[in-house]
Amino acid sequence: MSSELDPSAETVDGANRLLHRANIRRLEAEAVRDSMLFISGRLNTRMGGPSTPPHLTPLMEGRGKPTASGPLDGDGRRSLYLNVRRNFLSPMLLAFDFPAPASTMGRRNVSNVPAQALTMLDDPFVMSQAKLWAERLLAGPERSMADRVAIAYVEALGRPPTDAETGAATEFLTGRERTPAAWAEFAHVLFNVKEFLFIP
């Protein structure tokens, strides 16, 4: 069912108690991370095997600290294969309501807080995946800038860009269309679009 608003239904059922539309849902922490790995081309689809050690930031100290840090991107493995250490959880996953493994949890919290936007802006993992995605977009066959922009929108949001979005992206990239850093900034912007984090 679509989540698109029907004004006549909204006036009668503004709280959506009668389910006249789908409710918009945010992706879970693991799906956000795995989506970025998939789009960047870094996703390792190998199944099974040992878990990947957690990546340790400089601020992670405490009892039971692993002797070595795992790779920032978890070796490209799906979030399912990340080693979970109670005192050394991924800050990026925690921002998106990854459950604390101290006790069982029947239902996850689903929040929409500033820390999530800041994580998508500043987290080294997010920025590294945007850079890899940009390199992949530029490494493909020769295409026009508008075609590359359209491919990026379809990969990130599952839809082609509007004329206004194509115009804004073209204006941003003009003169830098072969510069990986410019495309990395553009990819980073698409990761930060609410549509990327929410299922309509």
Contact status, residue 88 vs residue 119, Cβ threshold 8 Å: no
- Structure tokens given for 80: 């399912």
Residue 102 has pLDDT above 90, yes or no: no
Q: What pLDDT, on the 0 to 100 scale, is given for residue 72? A: 95
- Which has more confidence, 162 or 104? 162
pLDDT digits 0-9 by tens, 109-165: 899 899 999 999 999 999 999 999 999 999 978 899 999 999 999 999 999 999 999
Residue 200 has pLDDT above 80, yes or no: no
pLDDT digits 0-9 by tens, 6-55: 899 999 999 999 999 998 899 999 999 999 999 999 999 999 999 999 99
- Structure tokens given for 171: 């204006």
Please report, for the chain, the start and end positions of each structural domain, with discontinuous segments joined by +: 27-200
Task: Name the H helices within 102-144.
Answer: 114-122, 124-139
Contact status, residue 86 vs residue 99, Cβ threshold 8 Å: no
Give the span between the Cα atoms of 183 and 151, in whole angstroms.
13
149's enclosing H/E stretch is helix 145-157
Residue 64 has pLDDT above 90, yes or no: no
Q: What pLDDT, on the 0 to 100 scale, is given for residue 60? A: 82
Contact status, residue 22 vs residue 3, Cβ threshold 8 Å: yes
- Name the pTM for this structure: 0.89
Residue matched to tokens 């987290």: 123
Q: Report helix, strand or coil for 100.
A: coil
